[in-house]
A and B are shown apart, each in its own frame.
Chain A
């Protein structure tokens, strides 16, 4: 079938939109690898700025990775059991709890950070450690873990599997480890990716909660934007993109896969119904 004019107009529009999102990213990558951005690409390509950034800011990158994985550990420990309880209980109380857990995402990070500083800023050692930033990150990322696991659990009949295991004599914890966790895996994986990605890039809370000794990556970025030459700031941004873009691509791939699994599950359910009747 030949494409109509409307198709090409819409394609052009979509391409312009894509260009708007991707051109600045490419510009920043190029600027970070160019000898002199003001002169342009003719001045030659170099890794000089990347090394300079590494020398100046590698601590911020390590710190952000530490915080991101600590945040992942905490959200797994707190979030997966919470999602299971919410899926089990259902009803109005569950929805109210879910609504409360999502609050830190609905309220601007600035407000939450101020609240934490006002309440716990007096505990000097705690305030000066990266655990203070971690607290903010956990509040902000927990809803994503809970929602992600909850979505997978709600899309399948885990109660039936559990009852099967229970009738064979499995205790609660045996069921939780061998039935619930393996079945919730796609949700746990997607939630984990989301938590790590968000934690590495979170600025609002991190900026407010950091101290001179706990500078994480986004703080370093803001610092370089304010005080470094454009090439150094760009090289730093490039390093950040190299860290974050694979995570974002993995997240996209996973959500495609989960959608396929969900469709298959639905198809199987329909088939079962048909064979039953």
Chain B
């Protein structure tokens, strides 16, 4: 029955293939051409390096995304390992809370940051009561960092918990019985075993942060992360070619991050903020 089914299989996948071709492949190829159609031609693709405003925005976005990635990996590893290894009442609830914001959109997370650290925010109230001075950081780089960390934790913790469940307790036991102190067990046994999970979730986190638009949009900060720069070029400056070439560059960066991670560690699925 194998070969006889091939025409049917082809028919089954045809609708998806046509939709994908018409609404994804063709538009993306056009976008790439439009990117090279401005005054600068193909040089538009290196504008990330040559135009100071674009270069600054690229560097800021990369630094922010890297910082968020490492912070999210660190806190999620501590909490994830703890939740996998201990059984106690309320554990399921904690897991539920930590993974709940998985599909919160970036705009909403931006608003949550405003409630937390904005002009009428909780942090402001608490610091005013304690020190007499109001701490407001929602609209700065720190606000973006907090927002990005917020949407990164659920994604990272899921992958890390899945990886931690597969750890072999016998290895740790062996290390300990040979006299290894706790920090060496962590460094030499646990972290190497978690490495594929850390790489996979780190890449998801980095790619999501690079492309995140909603959070910066809500916070309306003066810090131009790359997606905001693209948006401004497109809407305010009507620089369609510039927006297109920057989009393609950004898309290549995020895709490459995910691709490299996947080839290093197995499968990953991201969901953008």
Chain A residues with a Cβ under 8 A of chain B: 7, 10-11, 13-15, 17-18, 20-25, 27-28, 31, 37-38, 77-79, 81-82, 84-85, 88-89, 97, 100-112, 114-116, 118-120, 135, 138-140, 142-144, 147, 162-163, 166, 172, 197-198, 201-204, 207, 218, 221-222, 225-226, 230, 233-234, 237, 240, 244-245, 247-249, 252
Contact = CB atoms under 8 A, between A and B. Distances in A.
A34 B211 CA distance: 35
Of B31, B103, B269, B271, the most chain A CB neighbours within 10 A belong to B103
B1 A225 contact: no
B16 A79 contact: yes
A252 B99 contact: yes
A248 B214 contact: no
Interface string B228-263: 001100100000100110011011001100110000
Contacts of A197: 103
Contacts, number: 231
Contacts of A31: 115
A10 B240 CA distance: 50
A225 B112 CA distance: 11
Contact of A21 (B1, B100, B259): B100
Of A10, A110, A166, the most chain B CB neighbours within 10 A belong to A110
Nearest to B256: A106
A18 B94 contact: yes
B266 to A, nearest CB: 12
A95 B269 CA distance: 14
A81 B9 CA distance: 8
Contact size range, B? 35 or more
Which 6 A-B pairs rank lowest in CB-CB distance, beginning with the nearest?
A108-B211, A115-B27, A111-B247, A24-B112, A81-B12, A115-B31
Interface in B36-71: none
B28 interface: yes
A172 B115 contact: no
A106 B247 contact: no
Given A17-B153, A102-B269, A118-B27, A23 B251 contact: no
B67 to A, nearest CB: 16
B98 A237 contact: no
B137 interface: no
Given A17-B79, A21-B150, A110 B247 contact: yes
Nearest to B24: A139
A116 B112 contact: no
A218 to B, nearest CB: 5
A89 B272 CA distance: 29
B49 to A, nearest CB: 19
B248 A111 contact: yes
A201 B107 CA distance: 9
B160 to A, nearest CB: 13
A203 B79 contact: no
A139 B34 CA distance: 21
Contact of B243 (A17, A114, A201, A245): A114
B48 to A, nearest CB: 14
B272 A25 contact: no
B102 A248 contact: yes
Interface string B108-131: 101111111000101000000000
Given A11-B86, A110-B231, 11 more contacts: A10-B79, A13-B75, A21-B150, A22-B97, A81-B15, A103-B24, A106-B259, A106-B270, A110-B247, A114-B244, A226-B218
A109 B98 CA distance: 25
Contacts of B176: none
A247 B240 CA distance: 38
Given A37-B120, A107-B254, A204-B213, A244 B103 contact: yes
